Structure 1
Amino acid sequence: MLTHLAFKGYLGRRMHLGVCGSIAAYKALDLVRMFRDTGADVGATLTDAARKFVTPLSFEALGASPVHGAMFPAEDGGSEHVFGHLMPGESCHAFLIAPATASTLARLACGLADDMLSCQALAFPAPLVIAPAMNPRMWHNAATQENWARLKARGHVCIEPGCGRTACMEEGQGRLADLNEIYLYGLRAMTPQDLAGKRVMITLGPTREKWDGVRFWSNPSTGTMGACFAVAAWLRGATVHAVAGPGVPWLPAMVQRHDVASARQMFEAAEGLWPAMDIGVFTAAVADYSPVPYGDEKFKKGGAEELVVRFTPTTDILKTLGAAKGAHQRIVGFAAETSAMPENARKKLRAKNADMVVGNIVGRPDSGFQSPTNEVFVTDRNGRQEEWPVQPKTEVAWRVLDWLLQL
Structure 2
Amino acid sequence: MSPASVNAHLAFTGYLGRRLHMGVCGSVAAYKALDLLRRFKDTGADTGVTLTDSACQFITPLSFEALGASPVYTGMYPVGDDVFGHLTPGDACHAFLIAPATAATLARLACGLADDMLSCQALAFEGPLVIAPAMNPRMWNNPATQENWARLKQRGHVAVEPGCGRMACMDVGQGRLADLDTIFLYTLRAMTPQDMTGQQVMVTLGPTREQWDGVRFWSNPSSGVMGACFAVAAWLRGAQVHAVCGPATPWLPADITRHDVTGAAQMYQAAADLWPRMDTGIFTAAVADFSPEPFGAEKFKKSGTETLSIRFTPNTDILKTLGTAKRENQRIVGFAAETGNLHENAVGKLRRKNADMIVGNIVGTPESGFQSATNKVFVADKTGRTEEWPVQPKTEVAWRILDWLLQM
TM-score range, shorter chain: over 0.9
In the TM superposition, residue 273 of structure 1 has moved relative to its aligned partner by 1.0
Aligned to 1:394: 395
Tell me which moved more, 51-60 or 322-331: 322-331
> Separation in 1 of the partners of 2:224 and 2:78?
51
1:131-170 matches, within 5 Å, as: 131-170=132-171
Aligned to 1:100: 101
Aligned pair count reads: 403
> Separation in 2 of the partners of 1:209 and 1:180?
32
Aligned to 1:340: 341
Is 1:41 matched with 2:46? yes
RMSD, aligned CA? 1.0
In the TM superposition, residue 254 of structure 1 has moved relative to its aligned partner by 1.9
Q: Which of the numbers 4, 24, 40 marks the counterpart of 2:9?
A: 4
In the TM superposition, residue 306 of structure 1 has moved relative to its aligned partner by 1.3
**Which one-letter code corresponds to 2:76 in the other structure?**
M
**Which one-letter code corresponds to 1:4 in the other structure?**
H
Structure 1 residues 80 and 160: CA distance shift in structure 2, 3 A: farther
**Which one-letter code corresponds to 1:84 in the other structure?**
G
> Separation in 2 of the partners of 1:165 and 1:321?
47
Aligned to 1:30: 35
Aligned to 2:19: 14
**Which one-letter code corresponds to 2:74 in the other structure?**
G
Query: Could you report, residue by residue, the CA deviation over 1:84-122 in whole angstroms, capped at 9, with x for unpaired residues?
Result: 000000111110000000100010011111100000001
In the TM superposition, residue 167 of structure 1 has moved relative to its aligned partner by 1.2
In the TM superposition, residue 80 of structure 1 has moved relative to its aligned partner by 5.4
In the TM superposition, residue 72 of structure 1 has moved relative to its aligned partner by 0.8
> Separation in 1 of the partners of 2:206 and 2:394?
14
Is 1:300 matched with 2:305? no
Query: Could you report, residue by residue, the CA deviation over 1:283-325 in whole angstroms, capped at 9, with x for unpaired residues?
Result: 0000000000011111112222211100000001111111111
**Which one-letter code corresponds to 2:401 in the other structure?**
V
Secondary structure, aligned partner of 1:167? coil
Which runs of no fewer than 5 residues in structure 2 stay unpaired?
A: 1-5
Is 1:64 matched with 2:69? yes
1:76-115 matches, within 5 Å, as: 81-115=82-116
**Which one-letter code corresponds to 1:357 in the other structure?**
I
Is 1:283 matched with 2:288? no
**Which one-letter code corresponds to 2:197 in the other structure?**
A
Query: Could you report, residue by residue, the CA deviation over 1:332-368 in whole angstroms, capped at 9, with x for unpaired residues?
Result: 0000000111111111111111111000110111100
Secondary structure, aligned partner of 2:372? coil
Aligned to 2:354: 353
Partners of 2:333 and 2:357 within 8 A in 1: yes
Normalised by the size of structure 2, how large is the TM-score? 0.97
Secondary structure, aligned partner of 1:389? coil
Instruction: Calculate percent identity across the aligned residue pairs.
Output: 75
> Separation in 1 of the partners of 2:50 and 2:98?
9
**Which one-letter code corresponds to 2:155 in the other structure?**
R
Query: Could you report, residue by residue, the CA deviation over 1:32-70 in whole angstroms, capped at 9, with x for unpaired residues?
Result: 000000111110000000000010000000100100001
Aligned to 1:217: 218
> Separation in 2 of the partners of 1:5 and 1:258?
20
> Separation in 2 of the partners of 1:118 and 1:258?
41
Secondary structure, aligned partner of 2:391? strand
> Separation in 2 of the partners of 1:110 and 1:343?
64
Aligned to 1:178: 179
**Which one-letter code corresponds to 1:25 in the other structure?**
A
> Separation in 2 of the partners of 1:349 and 1:358?
9
> Separation in 1 of the partners of 2:324 and 2:140?
51
**Which one-letter code corresponds to 1:55 in the other structure?**
T
> Separation in 1 of the partners of 2:90 and 2:167?
33
Query: Could you report, residue by residue, the CA deviation over 1:208-232 in whole angstroms, capped at 9, with x for unpaired residues?
Result: 0000111100001000100111111
Aligned to 1:265: 266
Secondary structure, aligned partner of 1:131? strand
Aligned to 1:229: 230
Partners of 2:94 and 2:128 within 8 A in 1: no
Is 1:128 matched with 2:135? no
Secondary structure, aligned partner of 1:334? strand
Partners of 2:129 and 2:157 within 8 A in 1: yes
> Separation in 2 of the partners of 1:267 and 1:330?
18
In the TM superposition, residue 327 of structure 1 has moved relative to its aligned partner by 2.0
1:296-335 matches, within 5 Å, as: 296-335=297-336
> Separation in 2 of the partners of 1:333 and 1:231?
17
> Separation in 2 of the partners of 1:173 and 1:73?
36
Partners of 2:78 and 2:85 within 8 A in 1: no
Moved over 4 A (4+): none
> Separation in 2 of the partners of 1:56 and 1:276?
50
Partners of 2:368 and 2:374 within 8 A in 1: yes
**Which one-letter code corresponds to 2:72 in the other structure?**
V
Query: Could you report, residue by residue, the CA deviation over 1:170-194 in whole angstroms, capped at 9, with x for unpaired residues?
Result: 1111110000010001111111111
